[in-house]
C-alpha cells in the first residue's frame, strides 16, 4: 500500500451507487427471467467446509490447487473456504435438506464468489455469478432449455455472445479416453511443459486446455474423446443439438471445450464474446450427473450454468443498452417556514403514491436547490414556496424535457408525474 489509507483488497471492487443502479436494473431483468422459467431462488452461506470444494470441483483443478481463499477457523480447527462457485454449495444444500425427495428442482442463486486469480479486466478475486441449476432431470430437453433460456436473456439484454458446445461423454468413455491420453502424452514426454507433466497422471484432460503455444500441435493430434463416446451419450448430444436447431440457436461444436471443473459429464457449453478482450466467457455450464451421488446424495442427474455478472454487464454496456433506473421522480425544493412544513407533507404524499422523492435538506436559496435538483437527475422539480404552501399547491418544473412548468394541486401533480413516468418506461 502506497499510503496509510486502507484500500479495498486487490481484485475486490466496491460497487458505488452509479454502478448499483445498473446492477439493480440487471438483477430485476434476471429475476423476472428466472421466474418466467419456473426457477426458484436458494441462498447458501458464503463459507463452506473446504472438503466440499475439493470433492466437487476436483483436487487437481486450478481453482482447488491455487485459487481458493482457505483458512483455519481458529476456534475449532476446521478448514473453511470462501466459495469459489455455487454448484457445490447448491448440491450440498439439496442433499442436506433432501430437496429432491418429491422430484426434480429448478434452482437459482446469485452473489459473490472468490478466486485468488491474477486480477485483470473481467477477472476479479471477488466476482458475482448468477447460477442456475436443474437438479433431478436427465433428458437432453433440460440441457437444451438451459441454453435456450440463456439465449432469451441475451435478447432481452441486447447482446449476442456465441455458443460453444461439446460433450464429455460418460464415466466409462472418459476412463478409456484418459488411458489413451496418458499413453499418448507419455510417448511425447519431451514436449510436455512442467504443468502438463504434473497433470499427466492426476488430470490429463486438463493438459488439453493448455495455453502454451509449444503444446498446441501435440494437443491438436491427441486422442479425441469423441471417438470413445458411447451411443447413449452420442444420442443425448444429438438430441440437444436438434432441439437447439429447432429453436434457431446457432452454435459451434468445440471438441477442445473441457471446462475447468471436474464434475461435468456429457453436455458442456460456454457463451463467449470477442468484445471483452481475454476474459470473453460470459456464461458457462453443463451437465453434472455424478456430482450429487459423489457428494453423498441418492444418485440423481443434474445440469446448470453460471454467468459472470461483471462480464455480462460490461458486454451490455459495450452494446449501449442502459440498465440503470433513472434518477428520482421528484426533487422537492422549498424555501420559507410555511413552505417547509407543507413540503414535508408533499413529500409524504408523493412517496405514498409510489413516487421516488427527494426532499431537499439543508436549506439554501431556490437557485442552489434547483441546481441540486438537476444534479440528482430527478425528472421533476416540485417547487414549494410560501405562496404555493398558502394555496396548498405546488409548481411542477420538468427537468428532463422542454415541457412547460405548471402550478397545480397535489393530487393532480401526483397524477401528472405518474403518467409521465409510465410513458417514459
Ligand atoms: P465457471 O466457468 O468457473 O463455472 O464460472 C462461470 C462464469 O463465472 C464464467 O464464465 C465467468 O463469466 C465468471 N467468472 C469466473 N471466474 C471469474 C473471475 N475471476 N472474475 C470474473 N468472472 C468470473 C462455474 O462456476 C460453474 N459453477 C458453473 C455451473 C453451474 N455449472 C453447472 N452449474
Place of cell 434547483: 370
5-19 pLDDT, tens digit each: 999 999 999 999 989
252-300 pLDDT, tens digit each: 999 888 888 999 999 999 999 999 999 999 999 999 999 999 999 999 9
Cα(56) to ligand 1 centroid in Å equals: 15
Place of cell 464415466: 171
| Residues 6 or more apart whose Cβ sits within 8 Å of residue 124 | 11, 12, 13, 117, 310
The total number of residues shown for the chain amounts to 425
156-192: b (≥16 Cβ within 10 Å) or e: ebebebebbbbbbbbeebbebbbebbeeebeeeeeeb
Rounded to whole angstroms, the Cα distance separating 256 from 270 reads 12
Rounded to whole angstroms, the Cα distance separating 404 from 318 reads 35
Nearest atom of ligand 1 to the alpha carbon of 124: 20
213-265 pLDDT, tens digit each: 999 999 989 998 889 999 999 999 999 999 999 999 999 999 888 888 999 99
Rounded to whole angstroms, the Cα distance separating 256 from 259 reads 9
Nearest atom of ligand 1 to the alpha carbon of 86: 27
Predicted confidence band of residue 425 (pLDDT cuts 50, 70, 90)? very low
**Residues 193, 133 contacting (CB under 8 angstroms):** no
What backbone phi and psi angles, to 5 degrees, belong to 69? -85, 95
User: Hey, how many other C-beta atoms are within 10 angstroms of the C-beta on 118?
Assistant: 9
Residue 378: name the closest of 425, 332, 324 by CA: 332
**Residues 337, 294 contacting (CB under 8 angstroms):** no
Torsion-angle region of 273 (φ positive above 0: left; ψ -120 to 50: alpha; else: beta): beta
105-163 pLDDT, tens digit each: 999 999 999 999 999 999 999 999 999 999 999 999 999 999 999 999 999 999 999 99
Ligand 1: which residue has its CA nearest to atom 29? 305
**Residues 369, 335 contacting (CB under 8 angstroms):** yes
- In the predicted structure, residue 1 carries a pLDDT above the cut 70: no
Cα(101) to ligand 1 centroid in Å equals: 28
- Single pTM value for the model: 0.90
Catalogue the E-assigned strands of 256-346.
265-272, 281-287, 302-308, 330-334
Which residues form ligand 1's pocket by a CB distance below 6 Å?
A: 85-87, 115, 117, 122-124, 127, 129, 131, 133, 260-261, 281-286, 288, 304-308, 310-311
32-59 pLDDT, tens digit each: 999 999 999 999 999 999 999 999 999 9
149-200 pLDDT, tens digit each: 999 999 999 999 999 999 999 988 988 999 999 999 999 999 999 989 988 9
Predicted confidence band of residue 2 (pLDDT cuts 50, 70, 90)? low
Ligand 1: which residue has its CA nearest to atom 2? 284
How confident is the model at residue 303, as a pLDDT? 98
Rounded to whole angstroms, the Cα distance separating 111 from 121 reads 19
**Residues 144, 319 contacting (CB under 8 angstroms):** no
Residue 117: name the closest of 11, 220, 210, 21 by CA: 11
Predicted confidence band of residue 3 (pLDDT cuts 50, 70, 90)? low
Mutate to test the pocket of ligand 1, among 34, 285, 291 (most ligand atoms within 8 A of CB): 285
Rounded to whole angstroms, the Cα distance separating 265 from 170 reads 6
**Residues 404, 383 contacting (CB under 8 angstroms):** no
- In the predicted structure, residue 405 carries a pLDDT above the cut 50: yes
Residue 232: name the closest of 287, 180, 182, 270 by CA: 287
Lowest mean pLDDT among 60-64, 74-78, 130-134, 394-398: 60-64
How confident is the model at residue 4, as a pLDDT? 81
Report the Cα–Cα distance between both ends of the chain, in Å, rounded: 45
- In the predicted structure, residue 391 carries a pLDDT above the cut 90: yes
What is the residue-averaged pLDDT of the chain?
94
**How many Å is the Cα radius of gyration of the chain?**
28
Mutate to test the pocket of ligand 1, among 15, 53, 85 (most ligand atoms within 8 A of CB): 85
Rounded to whole angstroms, the Cα distance separating 413 from 409 reads 6
Nearest atom of ligand 1 to the alpha carbon of 312: 12
Rounded to whole angstroms, the Cα distance separating 394 from 79 reads 62
> CA 139: distance to chain centroid?
25
**Residues 177, 265 contacting (CB under 8 angstroms):** no
Return the C-alpha cell found at 168: 464429455
Amino acid at each position: 500500500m502506497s499510503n496509510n489509507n486502507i484500500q479495498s483488497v486487490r481484485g475486490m471492487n466496491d460497487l458505488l451507487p452509479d454502478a448499483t443502479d445498473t446492477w439493480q436494473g440487471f438483477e430485476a431483468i434476471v429475476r423476472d427471467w428466472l421466474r418466467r422459467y419456473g426457477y426458484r431462488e436458494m441462498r447458501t452461506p458464503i463459507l463452506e467446509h473446504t472438503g466440499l470444494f475439493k470433492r466437487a470441483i476436483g483436487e487437481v483443478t486450478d481453482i482447488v490447487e491455487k485459487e481458493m481463499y482457505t483458512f483455519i477457523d481458529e476456534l475449532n480447527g476446521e478448514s473453511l473456504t470462501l466459495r469459489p462457485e455455487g454448484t457445490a454449495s447448491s448440491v450440498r444444500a439439496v442433499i442436506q435438506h433432501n430437496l429432491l425427495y418429491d422430484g426434480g428442482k429448478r434452482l437459482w442463486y446469485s452473489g459473490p464468489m472468490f478466486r485468488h486469480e491474477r486480477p485483470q479486466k473481467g477477472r476479479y478475486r471477488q466476482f458475482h455469478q448468477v447460477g442456475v441449476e436443474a437438479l433431478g432431470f436427465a433428458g437432453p430437453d433440460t440441457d437444451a432449455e438451459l441454453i435456450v433460456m440463456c439465449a432469451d436473456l441475451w435478447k432481452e439484454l441486447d447482446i449476442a455472445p456465441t455458443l460453444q458446445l461439446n460433450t464429455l461423454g460418460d464415466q466409462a468413455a472418459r476412463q478409456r479416453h484418459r488411458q489413451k491420453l496418458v499413453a499418448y502424452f507419455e510417448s511425447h514426454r519431451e514436449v510436455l511443459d512442467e504443468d502438463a507433466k504434473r497433470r499427466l497422471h492426476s488430470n490429463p484432460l486438463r493438459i488439453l486446455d493448455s495455453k502454451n503455444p509449444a503444446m498446441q500441435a501435440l494437443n491438436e493430434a491427441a486422442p479425441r474423446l469423441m471417438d470413445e463416446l458411447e451411443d447413449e451419450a452420442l444420442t443425448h448430444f444429438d438430441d440437444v443439438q436438434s432441439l437447439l436447431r429447432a429453436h434457431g440457436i446457432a452454435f459451434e461444436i468445440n471438441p477442445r471445450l473441457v471446462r475447468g471443473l471436474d464434475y461435468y459429464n456429457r453436455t458442456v457449453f460456454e457463451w463467449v464474446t470477442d468484445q471483452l478482450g481475454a476474459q470473453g466467457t460470459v456464461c458457462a455450464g453443463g451437465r453434472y450427473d455424478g456430482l450429487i451421488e459423489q457428494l453423498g446424495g441418492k444418485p440423481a442427474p443434474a445440469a446448470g450454468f453460471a454467468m459472470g455478472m461483471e462480464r455480462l454487464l460490461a458486454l451490455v454496456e459495450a452494446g449501449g443498452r442502459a440498465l440503470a433506473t433513472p434518477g428520482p421522480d421528484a426533487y422537492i425544493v422549498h424555501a420559507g417556514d410555511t413552505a417547509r412544513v407543507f413540503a414535508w407533507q408533499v413529500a409524504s404524499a408523493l412517496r405514498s403514491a409510489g413516487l421516488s422523492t427527494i426532499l431537499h435538506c439543508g436549506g439554501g436559496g431556490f437557485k442552489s436547490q434547483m441546481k441540486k435538483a438537476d444534479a440528482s437527475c430527478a425528472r421533476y422539480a416540485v417547487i414549494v414556496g410560501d405562496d404555493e404552501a398558502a394555496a396548498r399547491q405546488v409548481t411542477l418544473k420538468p427537468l428532463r424535457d422542454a415541457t412547460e412548468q405548471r402550478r397545480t394541486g397535489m393530487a393532480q401533480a401526483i397524477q401528472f408525474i405518474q403518467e409521465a413516468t409510465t410513458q417514459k418506461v
